[in-house]
Chain A
Amino acid sequence: MSFLSQVRGRPVFDADGARVGTLRDLLITGDAPYPPVTAVVVGDDAGLHAVPWSGVASVTPRGAALKRSCRAASFPPPADDVIWLARDVLDKQIVNTTGARLVRVNDVALAQLDSELRVAGVDNSTQGLLRRIRLGRLVLSRAAPRLIDWEQVDISPALGEIRLRVPYDRLQRMHPADIAEVVSQMSPAEAADVLEAIDDETAARAMAELPEEHKAAVLTAMEPEEAADVLEEMDPDEAADVLGDVREERAEELMALMEPAAADEVRNLMAYDEDTAGGLMNTSVVTVPQGVTLADAIAAVRRASGEGHEISQVYVVDADDHVLGHISLAALLVNPPGVSVKAVMQSDIYTVRIDDTDEEVARMLVHYGLLSVAVVDAEDRLMGEVTIADAIDLFAPRAWRTRPRRAHA
């Protein structure tokens, strides 16, 4: 096992032991597991040359040796769009997928396997830092540093221009809440790059989990089209919250790019204060008149669900949108489809006024142990519902919520 910092800058010798240049970097291709070094970048007076691995006899901390008949100067300069370990990975920030952490690469561990030199892992220890300034021996413990296995990291955030070759594969497989955790450690621009690269649905779920203050900045940093796509995938109340925090021209620009129906819904929700029931509620509620059957109600749920809305129950309303009762999804499933909704609906309905404070809504949910409450206007007409998921931030312990990553600015 050796480290990139130990071989970089070392002399490169030809088969006769004559010095031909300096080892400047190692090239890898991103998609292989524990990727082998494909070429060694050798620098001499004429510039940089990419000597393919087949022409390299060895790379050690004492220096690198080329095979007989291999002349470094005869190889072309290295291509820009491959991964250079020192230039593109060393010192950059990458994602440790197991810990959901953004880590700084202090060094890269290399392992010789048969005739290949492979990338084994990433060193982000203090020992790695000291090794970089040639003080590695100062460390009291001689134990090997704790490395992060290469298969557990996603280096895409470090790659910038050439990241298309490694499209956030491992990061994308993380849970959206963990993606949010990682992304919240990044600057808004870096976070925007990640959310643009992963699929819209995952991005929307991760966006919803971001700390409040971070959301608007990330949305501002994203490409407008990508941002609009992500907003469409978000719950309308959450999309409205984020849009309420960005500059007005920007919010208008994004809503113009969204599907008109989704944009309208968000626009309507933005009319309510964030800290009222109106600001918390979701307007995509399924309602049915009291004369219909369960089969009709099920059809309505299917339709709404097909449009991407999350449905927890069906509300039964009269012609003026006054709530008469509600039916749980379980009740829809277990009762015969021909039964009238009126026969199975629960008429003990909990409602809050649209201008009630968010705290009152949360108290009601907790006090009665509800999964959701209906939101009505001054004339008792149904306007939407607040689920426990919408309100959870209000009663989760303060310490569980993430606060702004950077307190300055």
Chain B
Amino acid sequence: MPSPAEEERASPPALVVARRRPRHLPLYQRLAIPLALMGPGLLTGIVDNDATGITGYSIAGAHFGYSMLWALLLSAVALATIQQTVARMGAVTGKGLADLIRERFGVAISLMAMVTLLIANAATTVAEFAGIAGASEIFGISRFISVPICALVIFLLVAYGSYRRVEMVLLAVSIVSGAYIVTGFLAGPDWGSVAHGYLVPSIRFNLPYLTVLIGLIGTTITPWEMFYNQAAVVDKGVGEKDVKMVGLDAYAGSIIMAIVASFIIITTAATLWAHGEPANTVDDVSKALRPLAGSFASELFAIGLLNASLMAMAVLPLSTAYAVCEAFGWERSVNRGVREAPAFFGLFGAILVAGALAVLVPGVPLIFLMFLPNVVGGILLPVILILALRLVNDRRLMGQFVNSRRQNVIASTIVAVLIILSTIYMVVAILSLFGWVQT
């Protein structure tokens, strides 16, 4: 019979294995899960209704009633196709759009594309600052206080990498854009005219109409959305097997965008346009929400505008700086110091500072600043679209995931329409400049 010591010795030394214990997630983490699952396409669709979007759709509704809804519908279809295309490119190649443009087309074309992106995004950044200025002034806070503070806060949030949580809060607050849907019903629009507006395209060849039409397309489909959506898909590490998923996500984002945008047009048409009220200032445009909020319409509008502006501010300057540095191979990361990544922080800071300063020029009309990028973007968009189309049809790059004929037809149509519209626009603009046509 073995001694106790021997018995103990005979038992083999064991590796401890931990016992299972349930994992309790804190409440805030459980709440954050649905938001975290939200894909880049959905997020882009929500951020699409930024200061430029609210302004662009409000002006379309206030000046031309329901007559541009058809253009919104077609733009939304085009947006869905384009967003699905860039998401697919991101999933299949694992590379950003700026990266692909540089690798496929070289330095000269990259330079052109990046200058285009920089102009469009800088103009949009100005617009978001204008949105912040307009919203804060409704609350009686001078833009000379609110704009610099917001610029500083955005810079710090990005530099310290903690803005993702803030982004989640902003996304949650973006539910206030639902106010337009409620108001749209309360305002009692003429639904027959709404249906007519969706189904019967109409076009007028005068400068105001063409400006607003290009602006409407330009705010719905923007270069930054393409770069941003593709980069966000790439960062998730999804692959070819997820092409369908990221596509659905892009469609979902476009549908949300289209619903909110539709109701902005319908609401402003049923209020401002129907009563012949002006839409020349931020305050004018905010009055569209009166059927819902009564005398608090301006305040409700201001909250929505501020939130939309901040949401776009959090992604725009950063993704611009990122894309440009990606194209030219410059150090790019918020975790590098300013000294290590001078181009990245220089671009990022310059866009912020220039955007803020533009809004602080005395007497500058905010509505103009918020509308301008739509037209600029609409005219510049074909440059990026054509490059993206060539990339997505490159079989060496995309393999079996090249564009289908239907996708190419839709994308080529939007390119053609934008080029034709821009050309007509330029011609009409020059003619009216010399007083040769009536505007």
- Residues of A bordering B, CB below 8 Å: 90-93, 103-106, 124, 129, 132-133, 185, 187-190, 192, 211, 216-221, 264-265, 268-273, 278, 281, 283-293, 296-297, 299-300, 303-304, 309, 321, 354, 377, 382-384, 402-409
Contacts and interface: CB of A to CB of B under 8 A. Distances in A.
Top 7 nearest A-B pairs by Cβ distance?
Answer: A189-B94, A104-B329, A188-B237, A217-B237, A221-B237, A409-B232, A300-B13
Given A296-B9, A304-B15, A402-B335, A188 B20 contact: no
A162 B279 CA distance: 59
Given A188-B236, A383-B16, A271 B103 contact: no
Interface stretch (B21-29, B143-151, B361-369): B21-29
Given A188-B237, A189-B94, A406-B231, A286 B23 contact: no
11 contacts: A103-B329, A188-B94, A189-B234, A217-B236, A220-B238, A268-B20, A272-B18, A291-B8, A297-B13, A354-B21, A377-B19
Given A188-B236, A403-B335, A269 B18 contact: yes
Nearest to A268: B18
Contacts of B1: none
Contact of B107 (A124, A129, A271, A278): A129
A77 to B, nearest CB: 15
A325 to B, nearest CB: 15
Given A132-B108, A268-B19, A404-B161, A220 B333 contact: no
A133 B22 contact: no
Given A187-B234, A408-B232, A409-B40, A93 B329 contact: yes
A297 B8 CA distance: 13
Given A106-B107, A289-B8, A407-B318, A187 B235 contact: yes
B96 interface: yes
Given A217-B237, A285-B15, A289-B13, 11 more contacts: A104-B328, A129-B107, A129-B328, A187-B234, A189-B234, A271-B22, A287-B13, A293-B9, A404-B335, A407-B163, A409-B235
Contacts of A289: 8-9, 11, 13
Interface in B145-180: 158, 161, 163-164
A354 B161 CA distance: 30
Contacts, number: 160
B111 to A, nearest CB: 6
A188 B234 contact: yes
Contacts of B20: 268, 271
B4 A221 contact: no
A265 B17 contact: yes
B106 interface: yes
B116 interface: no
A358 to B, nearest CB: 14
A169 B21 CA distance: 44
A104 B102 contact: yes
Contacts of A285: 15-16
A309 B16 CA distance: 13
A91 B13 contact: no
Contacts of B228: 408
B93 interface: yes
A408 B231 contact: yes
B95 interface: yes
B18 A216 contact: no
Contact of A292 (B9, B15, B21): B9
Contact of B24 (A187, A269, A273): A273
Most chain A C-beta atoms within 10 Å of own C-beta, residue among B99, B103, B163, B334: B103
A187 B94 contact: yes
Given A220-B236, A221-B238, A271-B21, A407 B15 contact: no
B107 A132 contact: yes
A375 B57 CA distance: 60
A217 B20 CA distance: 27
Nearest to B337: A399
A353 to B, nearest CB: 12
Nearest to B102: A91
A172 to B, nearest CB: 21
Given A103-B329, A404-B161, A383 B13 contact: no
Contact of B237 (A189, A269, A354, A383): A189
A105 B106 CA distance: 10
B319 interface: yes
B189 interface: no
Given A185-B333, A403-B335, A287 B15 contact: yes
A89 B145 CA distance: 50
Interface string B94-131: 11100100110011100100000000000000000000
A400 to B, nearest CB: 10
A22 to B, nearest CB: 16
Interface string B183-226: 00000000000000000000000000000000000000000000
A309 B13 CA distance: 15
Given A104-B329, A133-B108, A188-B236, A283 B13 contact: no
A292 B13 CA distance: 9
Nearest to A219: B237
Contacts of A288: 13
Contacts of B13: 286-289, 292, 296-297, 299-300, 303
Given A129-B328, A383-B18, A272 B322 contact: no
B31 interface: no
Nearest to B228: A408
Contacts of B11: 289
A192 B16 contact: no
B17 A268 contact: yes
B96 to A, nearest CB: 7
A189 B161 contact: no
Contacts of B94: 187-190, 192, 221
A284 B331 CA distance: 40
Given A104-B328, A287-B13, A409-B231, A272 B21 contact: yes
A295 to B, nearest CB: 10
B39 to A, nearest CB: 10
Nearest to B399: A161
A286 B15 contact: yes
B430 to A, nearest CB: 31
